[in-house]
Amino acid sequence: MEKSFVEIDIDFGKVFSQVFQKRFIILITSCAVALMTIIYLGIITPAEYRITSKIYIVEKENITNYSNLQYLSREVREYMKSEGMLKEVIEQNQDKKIDLEDLKVKLLLSSNGGRIITATIRGTNVQEMREIMDSFIKISSKKVVSDLKISEVRVLEESSEPKKVERHIIKKSLMYFFATAIGFVLIELLIRLFDNKIYSRDDLKNDILDTELLGIIPKDNL
């Protein structure tokens, strides 16, 4: 038994034309999303600040090999940001609303692979951030000296002046604008490509009906 197939041609020009007819809806929706992004980042969300502090580690045995120095620096950073260390900092700052997971995210440690380690904390309450940073440096410095192969930790730079974190409001709003517009267009294209409903006389094709179209009976007369 032979199987018969009906070949259906997709008129991409017509599909894009139908999507283009909704350009104003796409534009208005994208602008609304971008505007909400600006309002959220610029007005609703409080400004975020960054405070840094730098320490210098002095090892018990002078290390001249750079790879060994990198390993020591990484070991010190991992130990300074261990859960036990952070819990001790939180216990000393019980009056502040901060938990372990929150502190893990807000507190960052970085190094160029040498003896200088930079601690950075981010948040909205400057005074609270400064107190947490000071207690963190104080506690971690003592712990590092007592538990690791470090003879001394020198504070090169105490809590710096707070710097406002750039939120790139315009950049993010434009990103959401184009993402919304592209997403809207793709959804409309998929709907039009897979929509086999008949909306007008033009949607009927003789190669599908296999007959001539004489006319359309209005639904009200049925």
Q: Domain limits of the chain?
A: 12-43+168-205+212-221, 49-164
Buried b (16+ CB within 10 A) or exposed e, 37-53: beeeeeeeeeeebbbbb
- Res 206: pLDDT: 46
**What distance lies between CA 185 and its chain's CA centroid?**
24
The residues of the chain scoring below 70 in pLDDT are 1-15, 195-222
Instruction: Report the predicted TM-score, pTM, of the whole model to 2 decimal places.
Output: 0.62
- Res 50: pLDDT: 92
Among 112, 88, 111, 110, residue whose Cα is nearest residue 100: 88
Indicate the CATH number for domain 49-164: 3.30.70.1130
- Res 163: pLDDT: 87
- Res 5: pLDDT: 47
CB atoms within 10 A of CB 121: 21
